[in-house]
Structure 1
């Protein structure tokens, strides 16, 4: 059985990646607080995401429906509202529409 030079290179490269990954994962296990990424989503982005999911669930994308949804959500502070409250708001809007 013969192994071509390119295949040997691929095998060694894969092995090297696995060794590096095992070192990285073992260091992550020892200090989990060092590598925590935090993402902050703006209230406008949360509102846009909420409205987009509503529009997708409703199946309509006309201007009138968007205005109705906007009227329901204009007093909501999307920066501090919980996911449970958003789910409840979504259900109420879906019932109304």
Structure 2
């Protein structure tokens, strides 16, 4: 397989002699996944984080407010979209009737 200069430079800068995408990234992805799994297991065994109830209450209130805004936006969108659809339908009906 013929290597291009760009592929060769990328392979060297990544510390890999393989220049195909699957070969060059395969080893690094496996190493990253293994490192992440190791850090997750050791971190979970040593970390005990407590969050104050006041902070949980604040974020619960924020989530409720955000959900209310999203629901109101969805309802408003539906009302506007429905009104536009009705006007288009009325326009077709009246144009077909010759008005």
TM-score bracket, normalised by the shorter chain, equals: 0.3 to 0.5
Structure 2 length-normalised TM: 0.36
Structure with more contact order per residue of length (Cα contacts < 8 Å, sep ≥ 6): 1
The structure where helix makes up a greater share of residues is: 2
